[in-house]
Amino acid sequence: MSLFPSPHHAISKTAITMALLTSLLTAAAHADITFKDHQGVEIKLDSPPEKVVTIVRSGPILYRAVDGTADHISAVNKSFFTRDYISGRYGEILPELGNLAATAAREGFVPNVEALLEINPDVIIQWATEPQNIEPLERVGLTVVGWNCCTEADRRDYLTISGKLSGKTQQAEKILAAQDASNAVLRERFSTFDSADTVSLLQVDQLNDQIRVIANASLDFSLSGVNTPAADDSNVWWKTVDLEQLYVWNPQMILIPPYARDLTPETFYSNPLLASLDAVENRRVYKIPAFAGSPDGPEIYLVSSWIAALAHGADAAPDFRANVRQVYKTIYDIELADAQIDRILSMEENAGSQAYGSLFE
């Protein structure tokens, strides 16, 4: 017997080893994706989806942020283009989203089943809170990933689920870590803040014969050292009130959501019926920046720092413009120009409001 292996034997062992390595690498690259959505349904995919449809209006933003591309999004809700896309200035900063087909839903969140069957998507993101809009999709064999609405925990899960779907869990974790770090700084500053030192504010999105305010938003105002007198235990998002109630609350600041496109600070300053309101007298009415253009957008956490700076000065959110630039780089891998940051911050709309230029220019 030879003490040395034959060349044929050595080649055979090498070939087997290489084949095993190739098999393992292939399996890793195409590892099954398995997780439970907010319905408790187990989602199983062989690989990251090539065709994602999102009936959830904010879905395109979240999935693009995590996946790093819009190439895998096949269709969206048409309401995305009438609200979030405009309010968040995504048409400017993420122009690729403008090419997406707006055929995912008929009205509201009712799925356009016929159009979706033509697309034949790998997954459809839909609200789990509307099971009547999930059943028609599952009945025809389409895979639905259900999202709950709309607690802070739910919003974090949107990123986590997008990470699992796309195979980009590290990016999802990076975005969540940035949110957590920002909130931790604010929490440390304001957690022991005396309630007497908090600034009262209202968010107003309609100003007609009656006034509509956002009473119970999911935003944690304690992070910013502010309070909202409209809040109560009802969990009702909006309240419609009259002028008398507005004066009873008499907020020190008024904030206008970016989607309220017919309202600007000047709308309030030029209205003689509002002239004696504290926020109007002191010119502390502000248009909320575009990073709140989608209520579920991954950059919306910047609002807490922005409010803190308005309420308590630049020291509450130092180097804010630089922070905005870095956040958009982290989330979307884009470099914002100074003019784009100006537009995101609504510098022109807020030019006549107290201290805005000195805080954010």
Q: In this predicted model, what pLDDT tens digit does every residue of 227-236 receive, in sequence order? A: 999 888 887 8
pLDDT of amino acid 151: 86
Neighbours of 96 (CB within 10 A): 13
246 and 302 inside one domain: yes
202 and 169 inside one domain: no
How many residues in the chain?
361
Query: What angle is formed at CA 99 by the lines to CA 97 and CA 105, rounded to 5 degrees?
Result: 85
Residue 16 lies in a domain: no
Structural domain boundaries, residue 112: 33-177
3 — pLDDT class (breaks 50, 70, 90): very low
Find where tokens 């780089």 sit: 329
Residue 216 lies in a domain: yes
Residue 319 lies in a domain: yes
Share the mean pLDDT of the chain.
Answer: 91
The H-or-E segment that residue 271 falls in is: none
pLDDT of amino acid 11: 40
200 and 166 inside one domain: no
The mean pLDDT value for 149-157 works out to 91
- Which phi and psi angles does 50 have, rounded to 5°? -85, -25
pLDDT of amino acid 127: 97
153 and 235 inside one domain: no
Inform me whether the pLDDT recorded for 140 exceeds 50: yes
Q: What sign results for the dihedral spanned by CA atoms 112, 114, 102, 39? A: positive
Rg for the chain, CA atoms, rounded: 25
172 — pLDDT class (breaks 50, 70, 90): very high
Rounded Cα distance, 237 and 231, in Å:
9
The larger pLDDT score, comparing residue 14 to residue 34, is at 34
19 — pLDDT class (breaks 50, 70, 90): very low
204 and 151 inside one domain: no
End residue of a domain, out of 147, 177, 207: 177
pLDDT per residue as tens digits for the range 299-314: 999 999 999 999 999 9
Residue 228 lies in a domain: yes
Neighbours of 205 (CB within 10 A): 18
- CATH number of the domain to which 226 belongs: 3.40.50.1980
Give percent above pLDDT 90 in the chain.
82
pLDDT of amino acid 31: 53
CB-based contacts of 27: which residues, under 8 Å, 6+ apart?
A: none
Residue 18 lies in a domain: no
Residue 1 lies in a domain: no
172 and 200 inside one domain: no
pLDDT per residue as tens digits for the range 228-286: 998 888 878 899 999 999 999 999 999 999 999 999 999 999 999 999 999 999 999 99
End residue of a domain, out of 177, 202, 218: 177
Give percent above pLDDT 70 in the chain.
91
Inform me whether the pLDDT recorded for 21 exceeds 60: no
Rounded Cα distance, 346 and 340, in Å:
10
The mean pLDDT value for 117-143 works out to 96
* Terminal alpha carbon distance of the chain: 85
Beta strand spans in the chain (E): 33-36, 42-45, 52-54, 73-76, 123-127, 144-147, 199-207, 211-214, 226-227, 238-241, 253-256, 285-287
Measuring CA to CA, how many Å separate 116 from each of 77, 111, 128, 239, 276? 12, 8, 18, 37, 54
157 and 232 inside one domain: no
What residue type is 317 in one-letter code?
A
Render 294-317 in DSSP notation, one character per residue: STT-TTTTHHHHHHHHHHH-GGGS
How many structural domains is the chain composed of? Answer: 2
Paired with 211 in beta bridges are 207, 241
Inform me whether the pLDDT recorded for 9 exceeds 60: no
353 and 318 inside one domain: yes
pLDDT per residue as tens digits for the range 33-83: 999 999 999 999 999 999 999 999 999 999 999 999 999 999 999 999 998
CB-based contacts of 238: which residues, under 8 Å, 6+ apart?
A: 205, 212, 213, 214, 215
208 — pLDDT class (breaks 50, 70, 90): confident
End residue of a domain, out of 177, 206, 231: 177
201 and 345 inside one domain: yes
239 and 311 inside one domain: yes
Residue 184 lies in a domain: no
211 and 152 inside one domain: no
155 and 254 inside one domain: no
Neighbours of 155 (CB within 10 A): 22
Residue 5 lies in a domain: no
pLDDT of amino acid 189: 93
